[in-house]
Amino acid sequence: MIKRDKVVYQIYPKSFKDSNGDGLGDIRGMIEKLDYLQDLGVDYIWSTPFFVSPQNDNGYDVADYYNIDSRYGTMEDVEELISEAKKRNIGLMFDMVFNHTSTEHEWFKKALAGDEKYQNYYIFKDGTPDKVPTNWASKFGGSAWEYIPHLKKWYLHLFDKTQADLNWDNPEVRDELKKVILFWKEKGVVGYRFDVVNLISKPATFEDDDIGDGRRFYTDGPNVHEYLKELVKDTGMEDMMTVGEMSSTSLENCVRYSNPDEGELAMVFNFHHLKVDYKNGDKWTLQAPDYKQLKNLFKTWQLGIQEGNGLNAMFLCNHDQPRAISRFGNDTKYWKESAEMLATLIHMMQGIPYIYQGEELGMTNHGYTTIEQYRDVESLNYYKILMERGMTSDEALHVLNERSRDNGRTPMQWNSDTYAGFSTVEPWIPLPENYKTINAESEFHDETSIYNYYKKLIQIRKNHRAISYGSISFIDNEDDEVIVYVRECEEERIVVIVNLVEDKKELILHENLDLASKIISNYDSNEVNGNILSLKPYECLVIKTR
Ligand code: TEU
C-alpha cells in the first residue's frame, strides 16, 4: 500500500544541471543536487528518460531500454545516483516509455530489414502509398501513419514518425518489456512512471474516425487493464511506486487503474484540469482559464477517485506543460502569492503531490520571441501547422509562447551567474531573462521564499494525517473562483480556502474559523469579520478546526 505522506519531485535531466560543461543537463548534475532535494524534503525523484535515444523527443524515443545515453552519462553514474539518493531516503522512479520505441531501436531496424518476428513487435499494415490505413492524427501533427516503400507497409506512430507504436497484443513484446522492468528493479529503482500507458491497447480492427482524430479507438483500449495487471503481476510491482500517465482518459478507468484491489498501478495522472484554457478542447486555440470548470473538475475527480478508492497523482506542472504560475497565476504582480496559492491548492488535496523542477522556485514561462529559440518537436511542428491554417508568424509565436512544452524545459535556475548556474556554457535551450532574480540561491535561505513555502507544505503533509490520509469533501459556495474543501480524519479536521484569481473576494463562512489555528497562508494576515472572510488576490488559507 502506498504511503500517502510522500511527495515526488520530477526531474527533466536535460535541463536540470550540467556537470561537464556541454550545455546539456546530465546524471552527475542530478547527483550534485541531491542535498538540495533532501533539504526540500521530497521522498522520490521521477526522472524522465535518459536511455539511449536519438533525442528527437528528448528521450521519449528510446533506442535501448538497458543502456544510458552517453549525453547524460554512464551506467555507473546511474548506479551512483540510485545509491546516493537512497542514502538521503530518496527513491528513484524511472520513466518507462512502453507505448512506442524509437525507429532507431534494433527491434524496428530488424523489422525494416524484413524480419517478420520484429515486424510483429509493431503495428504494420500492408498498403500502397496512396491509401493511408486510417485518418488518425499524430498528437504531434500530421498523420499517425508512415509509409515504408520497400516493405509496401505503413506503420503506426501516435506521436512523432520516429516513435513507432509497439504491438502489445504480441506476448513477445509484453515479455520484452517485463524484462526491462526487472532489470531496473534489480538496479534499485523503486518505482516507475509509465508514459501514455493507457494508449498501449489498440483495437482489433483499424477504422477511420469520422468524428475525431482517432483517439477514441485506442485510448483506454480494449485490453489495457488486462495488460497492466499482467505487467504488474509478472514483475512484482504491486507495492512499488508506480504512476500511469493517462492521456485523455476517464474517471471510471482511472479508478480501475489505481484501486489497489485491481492490481494495476499505484496512482494516475489525468490531464482534464490542464485543458480549461483550451478553446473547444484544442490546445492550440487560446482562451483564458475557465476557473469554474477548473473548480468543478477538481471536485469531480477528487470525490470520484475517493469514492472508487483510487489514487490521484496531483500536479499542475511537468515537462509537457507551460509553467502553472504563468498559466493560472500572475507571474509578475502577484508572483509569490499566486505561486503559493497554486501549490497549496494541489498539496492539500487528496493524492500524491508532484513538484516539477523549478516549480518550487516560482520559475515562469520562457517568453521566447523567435522560432529559433524553440527546441520541442511538437512546438516546431505546430508553428508550421498554425501558419498553414492561416496565422502569421507573430500570431503563431504568440500561441507557442502560451502553449509550448519548452516553457517547462528551460534550464533550472540555480543562481544569478551567467547561465543561471545550470552550465558554464550556453545551454541547449535559452534561459528566461528572469533567472537573475528567480533562482534557488536567492530563495534557499529566505524564510519567506516560495522555496521555503513548498518546504512547509511538504512538512504539513507529513505532520497532519488529515492531509495525507484524510477524507476530502467540498463546501459549496456561490463563487466559482473560490474553492473550499475539508480534509478530515479521526484526529483532526482541516479547512482549505483558495481564491483562484486576482480579484478580491468576500466569502460567507459556514462556520467560525479561529485564525489562531491557522496552519499556513500565503499572506501574513487574514481578515475575518464575523462570518465574512475577506480574500485578497490569490489568497489561500489552511486552518485547523478540530
Ligand atoms: O506525453 C504524452 C502527451 O500527449 C504529451 O505530449 C502531452 O499530452 C501533449 O504534448 C499535450 O499537447 C508523453 C510524454 O510526457 C511526452 O514528453 C512525450 O513527448 C510523449 O508522451 C510521447 O512519448
- The model's pLDDT over 77-100, given as tens digits with 9 standing for 90+, comes to 999 999 999 999 999 999 999 999
The answer to whether residue 2 scores a pLDDT higher than 90 is: no
Write the CB contacts of 89 (distance below 8 Å, at least 6 apart in sequence): 38, 43
- The model's pLDDT over 396-420, given as tens digits with 9 standing for 90+, comes to 999 999 999 999 999 999 999 999 9
Q: Which of 18, 61, 77, 195 is catalytic?
A: 195
Q: Which of 146, 245, 277, 443 is catalytic?
A: 245
DSSP conformation letters of 377-427: HHHHHHHHHHHHTT--HHHHHHHHHHH-GGGG-SPP---SSGGGGT-SS--
The pLDDT, as a whole number, for residue 300 is 98
The pLDDT, as a whole number, for residue 358 is 98
Residue 318 alpha carbon to ligand 1 centre in Å: 10
- The model's pLDDT over 213-270, given as tens digits with 9 standing for 90+, comes to 999 999 999 999 999 999 999 999 999 999 999 999 999 999 999 999 999 999 999 9
The pLDDT, as a whole number, for residue 351 is 98
The pLDDT, as a whole number, for residue 429 is 98
Which one of 99, 286, 320, 404 would you pick to mutate in the ligand 1 pocket, going by the greatest count of ligand atoms within 8 A of its CB?
320
Pure H helices in 464-513: 465-468
Residue 274 alpha carbon to ligand 1 centre in Å: 13
Catalytic (active site) residue 502: no
Rg (CA), the chain: 23
The pLDDT, as a whole number, for residue 252 is 98
Query: How crowded is residue 176: how many other Cβ atoms within 10 Å of its Cβ?
Result: 16
pLDDT band with cut points at 50, 70 and 90 for residue 320? very high
Residue with cell 550545455: 23
Alpha-carbon dihedral angle through residues 380, 383, 386, 391, given to the nearest 10 degrees:
-170
Q: What ligand 1 atom has the least distance to the C-alpha of 283?
A: 12
Q: What ligand 1 atom has the least distance to the C-alpha of 403?
A: 12
450: nearest Cα among 326, 536, 318, 341: 341
List residues near ligand 1 (CB under 6 A): 57, 60, 97, 139, 159, 195-196, 245, 247, 283, 319-320, 378, 405
Helix (H, G, I), strand (E, B) or coil at 531: coil
Please state, rounded to an integer, the average pLDDT across all residues of the chain. 98
Q: What ligand 1 atom has the least distance to the C-alpha of 99?
A: 23
pTM value is 0.98
Return the C-alpha cell found at 26: 546530465
Identify residue 197 by its one-letter amino acid code: V
The answer to whether residue 1 scores a pLDDT higher than 90 is: no
pLDDT band with cut points at 50, 70 and 90 for residue 65? very high
Question: Chain centroid to CA 246: how far?
Answer: 10
Question: Chain centroid to CA 535: how far?
Answer: 30
Catalytic (active site) residue 245: yes
Residue 156 alpha carbon to ligand 1 centre in Å: 16
336, 342 contact by CB (below 8 A): no
- The model's pLDDT over 159-203, given as tens digits with 9 standing for 90+, comes to 999 999 999 999 999 999 999 999 999 999 999 999 999 999 999
Which one of 138, 166, 196, 275 would you pick to mutate in the ligand 1 pocket, going by the greatest count of ligand atoms within 8 A of its CB?
196
Q: What ligand 1 atom has the least distance to the C-alpha of 271?
A: 8
pLDDT exceeding 70 applies to what percent of the chain? 100
- The model's pLDDT over 115-141, given as tens digits with 9 standing for 90+, comes to 999 999 999 999 999 999 999 999 999
405, 378 contact by CB (below 8 A): yes
Q: Which residues of 443-473 are buried (b: 16+ CB within 10 A; e: fewer)?
A: bbeeeebbbbbbbbbbebbeebbbbbebebe
Write the CB contacts of 517 (distance below 8 Å, at least 6 apart in sequence): 543, 544, 545
* Ligand 1 atom 12 nearest Cα: 283
Which one of 158, 159, 197, 282 would you pick to mutate in the ligand 1 pocket, going by the greatest count of ligand atoms within 8 A of its CB?
159
